[in-house]
Amino acid sequence: MDIAMSRYPNYYAVLQVSVDAQPQEIKRAWKHLLQKSRKHPDLGGSEDEALLINEAYTVLKDPMRRAAYDRIYLIHVAETQAEIAEEQDKPTQNRRRVKRIPYVNEVYIQKSNGDNAAAAQTQDISLYGLKLRTTQKIKSRETIEVSFAQDPGFVIQGTVQWHRMIPQRFGNPIYEAGLKFSGMHMERFVTFLERSGLSDSVAE
């Protein structure tokens, strides 16, 4: 992705310095880019590029702003990498055909290893399963039972197909995972969709 077009520009890449660059290195790189590399508009460079260089320098030269940027950018990178991994893990035909719809609901999850039940929140659903978020650590291939807050007696069991950790600025990380249902549990899930009036919405 073009660093100038990224939602969160990599200011270190903009100034062509390492993430542990010292303040004097950052200042030297900034001057070099605007003057010797002729990035300044007065020297024939692009105004947009010069603005991005100045923006990067303004943030990285200030220790407090740099520290805040580092935290935000680290989270962004982690989320981006997780999204890429999630997409790559999905079967090709599923990426093309499966329709997902937003479905935010409170649920409880119970892992097969005997961990205590934990609260979770669904994010979206498809005919194959659902995506949820929780503060309980989740791993791929784990078997998890899901019960819905409004109907605790209705329990379905799924397998974690993918997962990612979302760092939080304060507190514990959030874990996001995609569950796939199969066999009897797939049938129960379809029944749940029909009972909730959602089956038509997620149909291919």
- Digitized pLDDT (tens) for each residue of the chain, 204 residues in all: 334 335 568 888 889 998 889 999 999 999 888 876 565 555 555 677 888 888 999 999 999 888 888 877 766 665 565 566 566 555 544 444 556 788 888 889 998 877 788 899 988 887 778 899 999 998 888 999 998 877 777 888 999 999 998 888 777 889 999 998 887 887 777 777 777 776 556 554
* Angle separating helix axes 47-60 and 63-89, nearest 10 degrees: 110
- Record: fold of 11-89: Helix Hairpins (1.10.287)
Q: What is residue 84's predicted lDDT score, i.e. its pLDDT?
A: 60
pTM over 0.75: no
Q: What is residue 134's predicted lDDT score, i.e. its pLDDT?
A: 92
- Record: fold of 92-202: Thrombin, subunit H (2.40.10)
Q: What is residue 189's predicted lDDT score, i.e. its pLDDT?
A: 78
* Cα–Cα distance, 179 to 163 (Å, whole number): 9
Structure tokens at 74: 């680290």
Q: Tell me which amino acid residue 60 is.
A: L
Contacts of residues 53-58 at CB distance under 8 Å and 24 or more positions apart, as own/partner, are 53/14, 53/15, 54/30, 55/9, 55/11, 55/14, 56/9, 56/11, 56/12, 56/14, 56/15, 56/30, 57/15, 57/26, 57/27, 57/30
Structure letter (DSSP) for residue 117: P
Name residue, tokens 């740099």: 66
Domain ranges of the chain: 11-89, 92-202
